[in-house]
Structure 1
Amino acid sequence: MRDLVWDGYRNARDLGGLPTSLSATGATRFGRVARGPRRELLTETGWRDARGWGLAAVVDLRCAHEVGVRDGDPVVAPETLDAVPVVNAPTEDQDDPEFREICFPILDSPEYWRHNWRILPHLVLATLTAIADAPHGLLVHCSAGRDRTGMISALLLSNAGVAPAVVAADYAESVRAMAGVTAHAQHDRQAAWGTEEVDSWIATTAPIVEDVAADVDAAFATIGADADLRSRLRDRLTAR
């Protein structure tokens, strides 16, 4: 039920259906937030599928220079695209010298997440605020839907009371979904990976994701998110 079948769009999942004691249903709620890769991969049918799920808005985590149609992307009518509002809320400033030095070598690893919100807390705070302000039926995406989207999803799920091991399993799903896929990004070493590389990577990185999720209070403190913002983000995934 969590996997979303939107035409042309792999690695799309609803953040609902994950166990938490903070929801009356015992699980995060469906139809509130979805995660995925670059929206330009959606076909005309895929956009209809997404609207059928309840898509009402998009928060795009990419830098401005990454946004737009590329060769090979499906042709979609302008009125289809205009029907869903998009907020660009990048988590990265790729011109920041410290970010470039520390994060560029590890951008496909959750190892960079803590550095991202330490170096650029105002950007991550703006991203989380955009998510809190958006309507239900929100798609959050980056390029692959794995790294930046994985980082934000980990913060949202951990803040909603989802256990660290479950947060790490959600990250691992995206690694598996995007391995061997080249359409989402121009440079991604994981696009050439097979099962052995993926299994080895998950074994190495899952503990990193679990540590981040277990220390979510420290993450939000570094980002500068106050109690009200955290409550609004939590309610998005748990409240009636």
Structure 2
Amino acid sequence: MTLLWDGARNVGDLGGLALVAGGETARGRIYRSAAHEWITGRGWVHARQAGVTTVVDLRNDMEIGRTSEHPVLDAGATAGITFVNAPTENPRDAEFLRQCGPWLDHPCSWTTNMQMYPEKISRVLDVVVRATSPVLIHCAGGRDRTGMIGSLLLLLAGAASASIVANYEAGFRGAAEHRGHGWSFDQVAGEWVSSAGEVWTGDELDAALDDRRPALLDWVETFDAQSYLTAAGVDSVTRRRLELLLIE
């Protein structure tokens, strides 16, 4: 479900999505968005009204920071909000770049990414599950890393495949409404480059999603989330809490 928080880009709620067992995922527990720096002071009032007190930032250190494009915030605008930086990858890891570099904006990279960094993924989930109030999860555009973590949480909750696809596609389309989503790895140059000037036409966006949808569905049907978390050292109590996080 799309929300309107002033200044926020690509903000939505992981609630209201169909579960395999019937019913819907709980609203107002997990929100997702693009980088939080776009949120205005009024937007942070909206976020607090939604109950948010914890923000999980999935970006790498080179992506974080305010620029002249971001709104100026009054002192205290984010008072009461805890920001936790919990990257899902190591952008300086040559093996990560070799295996995932060509697929950084594609569900094809998810399983490899998660298998390479179980400690990073489990940290993200630990912060989310230990928060005592609704959580906002974001990366740069709210599309790729946020899509991966959001899909994992929905998979653990028992969301229907169509629900996971719908949430991912909403985040992907939401990111495309703005010029770019952050950084990408240039395979030829062998370096990270800004994709801030990236623009999608409607046909290009549809084609991109048509390409990604089968890979996402294959991931949903084949990824054993519980076995992954067990191997990552997540205890049974936490695994159960994660299962129930998005269930009414």
TM-score (norm 1): 0.91
Q: What runs of 5+ residues in structure 1 fail to find an aligned partner?
A: none
SS of aligned partner of 1:139: strand
Contact 2:11 2:34 in 1 (8 A): yes
Contact 1:169 1:206 in 2 (8 A): no
Which shows bigger deviation, 140-149 or 3-12?
3-12
2:7 corresponds to which residue? 8
Instruction: Find the aligned partners of 1:223 and 1:181 in 2 and give their Cα distance.
Output: 35
Contact 1:22 1:238 in 2 (8 A): no
Q: What runs of 5+ residues in structure 2 fail to find an aligned partner?
A: 184-193
The answer to whether the aligner puts 1:69 opposite 2:66 as a matched pair is yes
**Greater helix percent: which structure?**
1
1:210 to 217, 220, 232: 217
The percent of aligned pairs where both chains have the same amino acid is 37
How far is the alpha carbon of 1:220 from its aligned partner? Answer: 3.7
How far is the alpha carbon of 1:157 from its aligned partner? Answer: 0.3
CA RMSD of aligned residues (A): 2.0
**Residue identity matched to 1:75:** V
Instruction: Find the aligned partners of 1:161 and 1:55 in 2 and give their Cα distance.
Output: 24
2:43 to 46, 56, 64: 46
2:240 corresponds to which residue? 231
Work out the number of aligned pairs and report it.
Answer: 236
2:203 to 192, 196, 203: 196
Contact 2:89 2:113 in 1 (8 A): yes
Instruction: Find the aligned partners of 2:21 and 2:122 in 1 and give their Cα distance.
Output: 23
The answer to whether the aligner puts 1:107 opposite 2:104 as a matched pair is yes
2:83 corresponds to which residue? 86
How far is the alpha carbon of 1:49 from its aligned partner? Answer: 1.3
2:120 to 120, 123, 126: 123
TM-score (norm 2): 0.88
The answer to whether the aligner puts 1:185 opposite 2:182 as a matched pair is yes
| Cα distance, 1:169–1:82 mapped onto 2, change above 3 Å | same
| Cα distance, 1:111–1:198 mapped onto 2, change above 3 Å | same
The answer to whether the aligner puts 1:150 opposite 2:177 as a matched pair is no
Instruction: Find the aligned partners of 2:8 and 2:169 in 1 and give their Cα distance.
Output: 18
Instruction: Find the aligned partners of 1:34 and 1:188 in 2 and give their Cα distance.
Output: 24
Contact 1:31 1:136 in 2 (8 A): no
